[in-house]
Structure 1
């Protein structure tokens, strides 16, 4: 079993590694895969484990992938086309995935510190 927070933060970590290696995909290309709900599968095909910039999504089972795809798709449905205005992103679709995944973390834990999760751990 993998908690949602573990799945989404592992996804963010893998994307951050790609960004650091100067891997780039267009915002339109990423949007297309968010819409098709195949982001993880697509990235695995583009950057297979064992290759120079290979990703390791082996932690993700079918239900983890579906959850991440659904969450990303909900942001796509509300904000596709507003990436530059809303998040200042226009050059690398990986930045969009990181930004929207960060929003998913906020959704998990409450935007105003009102989540029932770990109330005693707020700073």
Structure 2
């Protein structure tokens, strides 16, 4: 998996947070999208003016979309409801998305370190 796809996604999410236009996206909204395994498509529909997810949602990049949705779902399964304790996130769904996307990178880095 290209980590660059994940870091680009973090930049896109950060831009959407910075705009302040999407502060109404709640943690519950993010949970619902994750449960449907459609978080990227939800973000694309809600934040398209600040986020360009065309690279992440291309037909030929289904592998990334599938990877991301599964990885974020696994984090959700282990940590939903404990966002405040583990990541300090209490209010904004996009902040949670940013933290959990970063967590995916940390997990990849951990796996790589274990193999070396």
With the length of structure 1 as denominator, give the TM-score of the two structures: 0.81
2:66 is the counterpart of 1:58: no
Do the aligned residues in 2 keep the contact of 1:109 with 1:115 (CA within 8 Å)?
no
Aligned length: 110
- 1:15 maps to 13
Do the aligned residues in 2 keep the contact of 1:83 with 1:89 (CA within 8 Å)?
yes
Change (3 A) 1:112 1:67: closer
Which protein has the larger Cα radius of gyration, Structure 1 or Structure 2?
1
Runs of 5+ in structure 1 lacking a partner? 117-123
- Take 1:75 and 1:114, find their aligned partners in 2: how far apart are those partners? 20
Question: Residue by residue, what CA displacement relative to the aligned partner does 1:84-107 show, whole Å, maximum 9, x if unpaired?
Answer: 122111110111111111111111
Runs of 5+ in structure 2 lacking a partner? none
Q: How does 1:4-83 map to 2 (within 5 A)?
A: 4-22=2-20, 23-24=22-23, 25-48=25-48, 51=49, 53=50, 55-60=51-56, 61-83=61-83
Give how far 1:112 is off: 9.7
Give how far 1:4 is off: 2.5
CA RMSD, Structure 1 to Structure 2 (Å):
1.8
Do the aligned residues in 1 keep the contact of 2:16 with 2:47 (CA within 8 Å)?
no
